Amino acid sequence: MDTRQIVGTFLEFFRERGHQLVGDATLIRPQGDPVLFTSAGMHPLTPYIEGVPHPLGRRLVGVQRCLRTTDLDEVGDDTHLTVFQMLGSWSLGDYPGTTSLQWGYELLRDGFGIPPGRLHVTVFDGDPSSLETWQRLGVPVETLHEDNWWSNGPTGPCGPDSEIFVWTGDGPPTGTPSTDRRWVEVWNHVMMRYRRSPDGSLGPLEQSSVDTGMGLERMAMVLQRRSSVFDIDVFEPWVRTVSSLWTPSRMVYDHLRSSVVVIGDGVHPSNTGRGYVLRRLIRRTLTTLWRDDPSRTLGDLPVEPISDTVEHFGLTVDPLYVLDVLVYEERRFGALLRRGRPLIERLLQRGPLTEEDFHYLHDTHGMPRDLVEEMIIAQPV
């Protein structure tokens, strides 16, 4: 299946079971939300999980674009991305978690054609109903503790979860998800039963809900029998065009694609907040490109992969405008490198930079630590 077919199969399965389709919300959170970007499929639905009636009812399904900076250093491995899409289903005080697990098993087996022998799950060790459900279905279970407790921050809705893994190795499955990395997590079912207060205490939610999230790119990796998320269909335009220009780099593919989505949602590079996240993505890309060849420029990037990403995510931005933003930020970073590098080089003549040096560069010259570290490894332009 290509990604469009995966999305269609998922949505149709749950719509046949009475779920209403919710739209793909922007990455930008409403004013007053402490989170900069939508980082989980349930994020836009938080008020409804907490008990506010949803206008479409108690059963929902949808596809949500997400951005996570917590995994930034892991981007480039086989499964982590900065911007990704999450297929989600929700029961807002309707059916129980055991029903969700049963349906999940049926969709993976019958809808996606995954052999049951390639499945393994983990459950919270204090959730006997999930454990009993998987045992009844004949799926191997590993019980864990903190790894199977889900929350979207220090406060708010939370609860035990059950994570579903697919075997991606050659030959018969071995080990468990916690002992063998060839088990790849594709779907998480969270039993939203509690709310964590600022003092750390847990209290019951007004209604017990179920929130599930399936990573589209990971599922595509499994169903398309690829070794990484960077080998699936949605990355093909980036891999083909970028690799013809520069030495292939998964991080470059990811950060450029993610930057397109962030710009498409109305963010511009800046020194604070969302704009700084975008600036970091672009500058990490440039640091990687210039490390091997300082003459490389984002101006050489064809518009094709940008247009493909704009279409895939349903953005309304002009792809040529996105390219202009990338090139303009490249010029600003190049100018900053030319001004700041001599200062850093003088400090480095005394030895590795100290904490005092980092504070001086930040307080006197407005150069944050992560930028200084980028400048140390980036080639002059």
Query: Phi and psi at residue 330, in whole multiples of 5°?
Result: -60, -45
pTM to 2 decimals?
A: 0.90
Q: How far apart are CA 339 and CA 344, in angstroms?
A: 10
Average pLDDT over residues 65-72: 86
The candidate with the shortest Cα–Cα distance to 121, out of 66, 206, 184, is 184
Q: Taking 60 as the threshold, does the pLDDT of residue 381 lie above it?
A: no
Q: Which residue(s) pair with 83 in the sheet?
A: 67
Average pLDDT, the chain: 92
Average pLDDT over residues 136-143: 97
Q: How far apart are CA 237 and CA 193, in angstroms?
A: 42
pLDDT digits (tens, 9 = 90+) for 273-290: 999 999 999 988 998 898
CATH class belonging to 3-229: alpha beta
Confidence of residue 379 (pLDDT cuts 50, 70, 90): very low
Q: What is the pLDDT of residue 310?
A: 97
Q: For the chain, what are the domain ranges?
A: 3-229, 232-377
